Structure 1
Amino acid sequence: MPGKRLNEEERQLIAQFLWDGLGYSEIGRRLQRPASTIQREVVRNGGHNNYRPGAAHRAASERAMRRMPAVDDLDVDEEAYSFDRSPAQVQEFHLRLVAVFRQTGLTRTAARILAEIFMTDRGSLSATELVLRLSVSPGTVSRSTAYLQELDLLHAERDGKRMRYFLGDDLWYRAWLSSAQRNSVWAQTGLDGAEIFGLGTPVGARLKDMGQFFAFVVVDMEATRDKWLDFFEKKKRARGEVTEDA
């Protein structure tokens, strides 16, 4: 069932659950489907208040019979449930991953995009796949992926007429580098402010504490960076990704 298109019985249950006032996440848990699948199904077929399971199933059957590679006919959930993965555990982890990404300061859509790509084994999704998975507009995907690229969390390549977005092997190092640069700015700003306001004043003392704290963090992060780069280089050599001339 997971990884396949919704069947008529599932659509009947969706209609009943909507009538009972359940949200997409709860319906997804009961059907062992991603919440995004339920939301896409409902939005595509009349919305929360006008969803008709019979009409929805007939429309889906017609799309399948046409066998056209339209956006509506893409099955984007299959990979998440390959390798005998538990649908319930996959969905629970998906929600947890989005929440963790949001805690780092990412916008909701950017966090959802990053989580979707993380949960594909190939580590990439096209713009069209993201639109379908998230049930958002192409413009929203474009803005959010551009934001993630600015943070060095994604990189994009053209795949035919579409853009495809990838995670890099050094993703977390790049994200860390941006954080280290921000901490360095905080440290210097605090120490400069302490000199301006005077080290013996309350404001100066407060700024000095700020500058020294972030200066300490920067030193610690630099030591961690050196250890990671050494480890990452050895890992790449073990995989045969680095030549003798590198």
Structure 2
Amino acid sequence: MPGKRLDEEERQLIAQFLWDGLGYSEIGRRLQRPASTIQREVARNGGHNNYRPGAAHRAAAERAMRRMPAVDDLDIDDEAYSFDRSPGKVKEFHLTLVGVFVQTGLTRTAARILAEIFMCDKGSLSATELVLRLSVSPGTVSRSTKYLEELHLLRSERDGKRMRYFLDDDLWYQAWLASAERNAMWAHTALNGSEIFGLDTPVGARLKDMGQFFAFVVTDMESTRKKWLEFFEKKKRARGEVTGDA
């Protein structure tokens, strides 16, 4: 934590702690930050009685942007609007895609990151590019991309001094496989619990129903997995043949 920029959640907590009457040392202890960091943050953003976390976060993002290299130096493409794509429709789809990702359980920042990379034809963006495109701090990008990697939705590689994030061809398969493993764990745990509590008891019967449901889902997913792998291999071979002929 120390050494990284304050994020929006921390600034909200600082405002709450100031309202509660806590001193800089106690706030720093709770946030695992030096008291001097808290004091500078408050002093440069209105002082103890006028600190506004939203305004402070926007100001910090603007300062970070000024310290970043120029956009032209980062090879940020405008390919989203190439191939005669309609800018209006692209923007509308962008908002829709972010909304769908949020509705399926992603945090909003993670959803925005995933949508940005999805809408990039090369299927990758560097951490710096994401900071500039989303107007967020490097720390926010780091946390959100790590979260997406844990869900098997992104893959990262070091590109010189920067991290670059990729979408793999089997992105959804890997994410789905992780979901299948979780379902299998649910099935095993519930069925084991039903034996412990007794199948003739309400708890045991409830756990058995749960376990049988997830066991059914796992069996169905395994069948789907095999079908997808066959289809995916055929698609890869077809792509290879086309590439080879070209």
How many residues are treated as equivalent by the alignment? 179
Q: Aligned partners of 1:163, 1:216: CA distance in 2, in Å? A: 40
1:202 aligns to what?
202
C-alpha displacement at 1:190, in angstroms? 1.1
2:200 alignment partner, SS class: coil
Q: C-alpha separation between the residues in 1 aligned to 2:228 and 2:171?
A: 13
* Deviation larger for 175-184 or 84-93: 84-93
CA distance in 1, matches of 2:137, 2:72: 13
Question: 1:138-153 residue pairs with structure 2 within 5 A?
Answer: 138-153=138-153
Could you say what secondary structure the match of 1:240 adopts? helix
Listed one character per residue, the Cα deviations across residues 132-172 of structure 1 (whole Å, up to 9, x for unaligned) are: 11111001101111111122211112222211111001101
Match of 1:240 in 2: 240
TM-score, structure 2 normalization: 0.67
1:101 is aligned to 101
Q: Distance in 1 between matches of 2:86 and 2:206?
A: 51
Partner amino acid for 1:224?
Answer: T
| Structure 1 gap ranges (5+) | 1-42, 48-62, 242-246
Asked if 2 retains the 8 angstrom alpha-carbon contact of 1:191 and 1:211, the reply is yes
CA contact (8 A) 1:72 1:132 kept: no
Residue 155 (structure 1) aligned with residue 155 (structure 2): yes
d(CA) in 1 for partners of 2:146, 2:107: 12
Partner of residue 14, structure 1: none
Alignment of 1:1-246 (within 5 A): 70-71=70-71, 76=76, 78-240=78-240
Q: Which residue of 2 aligns with 1:7?
A: none
Residue 131 of structure 2 aligns to a residue in which SS? helix
Deviation at 1:85, TM superposition (A): 1.1
Local SS of the residue matching 2:163: strand
Alpha-carbon distance in structure 2 between the residues aligned to 1:75 and 1:160: 14
Offset, 1:104: 2.4
For 2:143, give the aligned amino acid.
R
**CA-CA distance at 1:77 after TM superposition:** 6.6
Q: 1:73, CA displacement in angstroms? A: 7.4
Distance in 2 (CA, whole Å) between partners of 1:89 and 1:213 is 41
Structure 1 residues 129 and 119, CA gap change in structure 2 (3 angstroms): same
Q: TM-score, normalised by structure 1?
A: 0.67
Q: CA deviation at 1:103?
A: 2.3
Structure 1 segments, 4+ long, off by >3 Å, are 71-77
Tell me whether 70-79 or 152-161 shows the greater mean CA deviation.
70-79
Question: Could you tell me how far apart the structure 1 residues matched to 2:181 and 2:188 are?
Answer: 11
2:15 counterpart residue number: none
One-letter code aligned to 2:238:
A
Task: Work out the CA distance in 2 between the residues paired with 1:69 and 1:140.
Answer: 18
Q: Residue 162 and residue 131 in structure 1: after superposition, are their counterparts in 2 closer, same or farther (change >3 A)?
A: same
